Amino acid sequence: MRYDVAVIGLGGMGAATLSHLARRGVHCIGIERFERLHENGASHGESRIIRKAYFENPAYVPLLERSYELWRELQATTDRKLVDFVGILMVGEPGCEGIAGTLRTAKQWNLPLDEFDAKQIARRFPGTMPRPAEVGLLERQAGIVFPEPALDAHLNVATQHGAEMHFSNGVERWEKHDGAHRLTLADGTVVVADKVAVCPGMWASKLLAELELPLRVQRNVQVWFEPHTNHFDRGVFPTFFIERLDLPGPLYGFPAMNGTMKAAFHRFGETVDPDRIDRRIRDDDVTIVGNALDEWLEHAAGSYVRGRVCTYTLTPDGNFIVDKHPNDPSVTIACGFSGHGYKFSPVIGEICADLVLDGGTRHDIGFLGMNRFSQSSIRPI
């Protein structure tokens, strides 16, 4: 079986990449080691935040603008809701990363924000408990992406445009012969492709061992509670992101939908080996989130409902890796999404398709290149 392009990994980024390749008429195949829409990677858990006034780095804004357009296009292909613009409320003291960075990016790109002091936050959002020195920023053009229907929609677009897919059949061996990539799958099937897009999530360091990528995989737990109040229902309450020095990391969450609301810490969790992750939910996974929620949203952490383990694949600077393989231009790599990649998945798919087919892209992705890791920083952090 010979293809123009093989995409390794059909999580959020691989599914988007396959859909963009297929839409351009490329003879392509997607290969995934687990079943369709599995829960062993990073693209599950019902909700992801989408926002544009990007505190991490203003350079992401043009990518977000394009992503918003592509989300709208993808939405037109399905009856299931993919994005819900309920807004996001950023909270913290004025100097903290989320507040200062959001303001900086909004100013640079002229993005609208509503600003509140602590008293105004409490008045505008009943049930919140801001501390006196805290301020709030409400970005209305932000909200929720639903990762499972979104991933499914990307795969469906790929299928409709002729892409083939293998599920539960991962790449076990990868060799290059006579200019073609030879991928041997778990069941012995051999796939031959002229080019490869690698979107392996937390397995990047294993699949691309020769690059010694400076990636760290982190176990992150998402926790759902049934609030004992209606103050945080979807329709009255936005998504939120709050930074407090006495928390182990920023706490973020979603409005209550179908009676439950999800919350979690950003960038907090133990470092793990992707093949040896404790997927049980421990008591302290729940209490640490519940206690932080109790200090911010009254009665939100009413009763514990469920938890899910997910993973971040972190780069040293928190920026993604989207680039060509340094030693082989027929290989495109997208990994290291550092716990904030899902909202970008449509534009990452477009960029990967550009890199695979054209060798370059009109999008400004210089800051996502692999050459930013000097030899000395190429080690696990």
Ligand X SMILES: Cc1cc2nc3c(=O)[nH]c(=O)nc-3n(C[C@H](O)[C@H](O)[C@H](O)COP(=O)(O)OP(=O)(O)OC[C@H]3O[C@@H](n4cnc5c(N)ncnc54)[C@H](O)[C@@H]3O)c2cc1C
For the bound state, the minimum distance from the C-beta of residue 313 to ligand X, rounded and expressed in Å, comes to 7
Alpha-carbon span 153 to 19, nearest angstrom: 9
Cβ proximity of 1 and 191 under 8 Å: yes
Q: How far is CA 211 from the centre of its chain?
A: 23
Token pair for residue 308? Answer: 């899910």
By beta-carbon proximity to ligand X, the closer residue of 45 and 302 is 45
For the bound state, the minimum distance from the C-beta of residue 133 to ligand X, rounded and expressed in Å, comes to 26
By beta-carbon proximity to ligand X, the closer residue of 118 and 341 is 341
By beta-carbon proximity to ligand X, the closer residue of 342 and 373 is 342
By beta-carbon proximity to ligand X, the closer residue of 285 and 354 is 285
Residue 350 is given by DSSP the state H
CA angle 364, 365, 368 (to 5 degrees): 160
> Contact positions toward ligand X, by CB under 6 A?
8-14, 31-34, 41-43, 45, 48-49, 170-171, 199-201, 203, 207, 220, 222, 264, 310-312, 335, 337, 339-343
- Tokens 């929609």 found at: 153
Which one, of 259, 357, 370, lies nearest residue 320 by Cα? 370
By beta-carbon proximity to ligand X, the closer residue of 18 and 118 is 18
For the bound state, the minimum distance from the C-beta of residue 177 to ligand X, rounded and expressed in Å, comes to 19
For the bound state, the minimum distance from the C-beta of residue 247 to ligand X, rounded and expressed in Å, comes to 16
For the bound state, the minimum distance from the C-beta of residue 5 to ligand X, rounded and expressed in Å, comes to 15
By beta-carbon proximity to ligand X, the closer residue of 118 and 144 is 144
- The phi and psi torsions of 308 (rounded to 5 degrees) equal -140, 135
Which one, of 185, 163, 154, 143, lies nearest residue 11 by Cα? 154
By beta-carbon proximity to ligand X, the closer residue of 253 and 302 is 253
Token pair for residue 361? Answer: 């892209």
Alpha-carbon span 170 to 43, nearest angstrom: 17
For the bound state, the minimum distance from the C-beta of residue 228 to ligand X, rounded and expressed in Å, comes to 24
Alpha-carbon span 269 to 282, nearest angstrom: 12
For the bound state, the minimum distance from the C-beta of residue 18 to ligand X, rounded and expressed in Å, comes to 11
By beta-carbon proximity to ligand X, the closer residue of 237 and 312 is 312
Alpha-carbon span 65 to 2, nearest angstrom: 36
By beta-carbon proximity to ligand X, the closer residue of 220 and 260 is 220
Alpha-carbon span 202 to 335, nearest angstrom: 8
For the bound state, the minimum distance from the C-beta of residue 123 to ligand X, rounded and expressed in Å, comes to 27
Cβ proximity of 257 and 276 under 8 Å: no
For the bound state, the minimum distance from the C-beta of residue 117 to ligand X, rounded and expressed in Å, comes to 26
For residue 287, is it left (φ>0), alpha (ψ between -120 and 50) or beta?
alpha
CA atoms within 13 Å, Cβ hemisphere of 221: 20
Residue with the shortest CB distance to ligand X: 11
